[in-house]
Amino acid sequence: MDAKGLLQLADDLFSKKSPLNSLHQEIADNFYPERADFTITRSLGTDFAANLMSSYPVQCRRKLGDQFGTMLRPTARPWFHVKRRYVEIEKEITDVRVFTQWFEETQRRAMYHPEALFTRATKEGDHDFAAFGQCVVSVELNQLGNGMLYRAWHLRDVVWQENAQGRIGFVCRKWKPTALTLKQMFRNKVHPKVEKLATGPTPFEEVDIRHFVVEAELYGADARGRPRWSIWYDVQNDHVMEEVPIWGRHYVIPRWQTVSGSQYSYSPATVCGLPDARLLQAMTFTLLEAGEKATSPPMVAVQDAVRTDLALYAGGVTWVDQEYDERLGAALRPLEQDFRGFNFGVQMNQDTRGMLHSAFFLDALTLPQRAPEMTAYEVGQRVQEYIRNALPLFEPMEQEYNAALCDETFELLWRNGAFGDPRAWPKQLRGADIDFSFESPLHDAIEEQKGQKFTNGIALIGQAIALDPSCAFVPKVEVALRDALLATGTPAAWLNNEAFVQEAKAHQAQQAAQQQQLGNIATAAGAARDLGQSGMVPAAV
């Protein structure tokens, strides 16, 4: 398939995605008004939330989106760890662990360099993920090739298609940069018409561009053993500006909750919360209207008796005909209304807010608090409940989002020499598949349980030894201690490796044997001396 074929495929996907854009527009109108430009074009200075009566749905989305970054990617501490695939960090060889920690530090510096824009891109992606259940983040080297660059893209401008294995195999992004930007990015690869625009009087005229990332077998050219192609296509001038085979995916597209038969995913938070958000807006409008009527009630005026307009503002005066007979009733009186249902409406409003709070998992994000009167068993049970409630939220984020970002970043850094010569790595790392593990409040709770189990195990073993001293041989103390220390976040560089420990144990055993031998010699010499002093001679055998 050539570039024109890819364009036709992309246009077909964009056409089929139109109903989804309408749904995303509805979701954004209620939860993410800053992003509500899927089907409309907004001008600068537009009041984003002009159609909303209550900001609570927007606040719920904002809290959930902020929590993703705060809990899963905290900048105050390392949140990812490099490891060999299928090898647990606690069981990793110490020499290898020291080397993978150097990988972590190098990658972290690259990701959080100010010019990499990692925090900005993931912040935008987090809120797209919370509202729409998916986001698009590009991971690439910067234009100079000396650092990383991360950018989040509007879901409206990106389509994708799954391959036979259910993985995303085709991605197309619409882009409308200026002619000057294209010239700066692609230099002499742009079309002559774009060259003329960039150097002429209209350098800021926009050009319609498509960026394709396709699997190698879909594009007919020789990919030189690489799995994908990156193709930049000028639609207006039918011109391929660049086609480069690449190792990575370029675009990271995490998906929260997928539905069979669709390559697009959904946010379970907004799927549950959208009816409640509409209801909350309607109820809030009704309550506001009722409150206005209670404080400034509609008035009943007798025809021809009131001589001026009704002045219902503070200090206003309404003139009444002096010849009107008040015995027929007041010329101006408030319309009687029944407000007994107002408090019930307020209660319904609060209940709907509670439903929205639960829909956005905000009740599942709070760690259980330990009260002074709680036993260790009760604390453990509450932690288990927290883990069960939080797993549906954390698991897709870690696997689809954080792991994909880290994998793509590691691939780019490794292939561009950021980790040095692989021949200098420990032999266990050469050719090994690299994987990542992550820290989060969920993992902290799980790891804290491991330390608690170690403490509980020591107590049980102590009680067993009091009954049977041979029980001291049951636990693998060294293995358990290493697991407990690493679970508490102890750096691998603080621990001696297994070979050193075995050597130290052998040396200790040797010293103990020597001490015992010396003690036996000293005992024998003392016994001989005592016999000599007593004049007794051992009997001959």
What's the per-residue H, E or C state across 270-320?
HHHHHHHHHHHHHHHHHHHHHHHHHHCCCEEECCCCECCCCCCCCCCCCCE
Rounded CA-CA distance 144/130 in Å is 33
In the predicted model, what is the mean pLDDT of residues 372-381?
Answer: 64
pLDDT confidence tier of residue 476, bands split at 50, 70 and 90: confident
Higher pLDDT, 147 or 333: 147
Please identify which residue in the block is written with the tokens 């729409």: 132
Residues linked to residue 170 through DSSP beta bridges, in sequence order: 161, 214
In the predicted model, what is the mean pLDDT of residues 190-197?
Answer: 93
Inform me whether the pLDDT recorded for 370 exceeds 70. Answer: no
Inform me whether the pLDDT recorded for 353 exceeds 50. Answer: yes
Residue-wise pLDDT for 292-336, tens only, equals 777 777 776 666 677 677 766 666 777 777 777 777 777 776 766
Angle between helix 118-132 and helix 268-295 axes, rounded to 10 deg: 80
CB of 35 closer than 8 Å to CB of 240: no
In the predicted model, what is the mean pLDDT of residues 31-42?
Answer: 92
CB of 435 closer than 8 Å to CB of 458: no
pLDDT confidence tier of residue 471, bands split at 50, 70 and 90: confident
In the predicted model, what is the mean pLDDT of residues 141-161?
Answer: 94
Averaged pLDDT score across all residues of the chain? 84
pLDDT confidence tier of residue 449, bands split at 50, 70 and 90: low
Highest mean pLDDT of the ranges 16-20, 422-426, 503-507: 16-20
Inform me whether the pLDDT recorded for 153 exceeds 80. Answer: yes
Q: What is the pLDDT at residue 31? A: 96
In the predicted model, what is the mean pLDDT of residues 427-436?
Answer: 84
pLDDT confidence tier of residue 380, bands split at 50, 70 and 90: low
Inform me whether the pLDDT recorded for 534 exceeds 80. Answer: no
CB of 466 closer than 8 Å to CB of 114: no
User: CB atoms < 10 A from the CB of 24, how many?
Assistant: 26
Rounded CA-CA distance 214/168 in Å is 9
Q: What is the pLDDT at residue 541? A: 43
Rounded CA-CA distance 106/4 in Å is 41
Rounded CA-CA distance 323/346 in Å is 45
Q: What is the pLDDT at residue 368? A: 62
Inform me whether the pLDDT recorded for 536 exceeds 70. Answer: no
3-state secondary structure of 140: strand
pLDDT confidence tier of residue 354, bands split at 50, 70 and 90: very high
In the predicted model, what is the mean pLDDT of residues 495-521?
Answer: 77
In the predicted model, what is the mean pLDDT of residues 342-350?
Answer: 84
348-356 LR contacts (CB < 8 Å, sep 24+): 348/283, 349/280, 349/283, 349/284, 349/287, 352/276, 352/279, 352/280, 352/283, 353/56, 353/280, 355/273, 355/276, 356/56, 356/57, 356/60, 356/273, 356/276, 356/277, 356/280
Inform me whether the pLDDT recorded for 387 exceeds 80. Answer: no
Q: What is the pLDDT at residue 377? A: 60
| CB-based contacts of 245, cutoff 8 Å, min separation 6 | 216, 221, 223, 224, 226, 228, 229, 230
Q: What is the pLDDT at residue 302? A: 67
Q: What is the pLDDT at residue 315? A: 67
Please identify which residue in the block is written with the tokens 């200075």: 45
pLDDT confidence tier of residue 194, bands split at 50, 70 and 90: very high
In the predicted model, what is the mean pLDDT of residues 225-249?
Answer: 93
Inform me whether the pLDDT recorded for 453 exceeds 80. Answer: no
Angle in degrees, CA 173, 179, 180, rounded to 5: 115
CB of 258 closer than 8 Å to CB of 345: no
Inform me whether the pLDDT recorded for 68 exceeds 60. Answer: yes
Residues linked to residue 301 through DSSP beta bridges, in sequence order: 332
CB of 218 closer than 8 Å to CB of 170: yes
Residue-wise pLDDT for 244-277, tens only, equals 999 999 999 999 999 988 999 999 999 999 999 9
| CB-based contacts of 472, cutoff 8 Å, min separation 6 | 461, 465
User: Which DSSP string corresponds to 15-35?
Assistant: HHTHHHHHHHHHHHHHH-GGG
Inform me whether the pLDDT recorded for 443 exceeds 80. Answer: no
Residue type, 263: Q
Residue type, 16: K
Inform me whether the pLDDT recorded for 537 exceeds 60. Answer: no
User: Which DSSP string corresponds to 48-85?
Assistant: TTTT-S-SHHHHHHHHHHHHHHHHHS-TTS--EEEEET
Q: What is the pLDDT at residue 427? A: 85
In the predicted model, what is the mean pLDDT of residues 31-44?
Answer: 91
**Least-confidence region, from 233-247, 290-304, 525-539:** 525-539
Inform me whether the pLDDT recorded for 47 exceeds 70. Answer: yes
pLDDT confidence tier of residue 176, bands split at 50, 70 and 90: very high
pLDDT confidence tier of residue 291, bands split at 50, 70 and 90: confident
Selection from 447, 428, 367, 439 nearest residue 397 by Cα: 439
**Least-confidence region, from 168-172, 216-220, 438-442, 457-461:** 438-442
Q: What is the pLDDT at residue 532? A: 67
In the predicted model, what is the mean pLDDT of residues 48-57?
Answer: 90
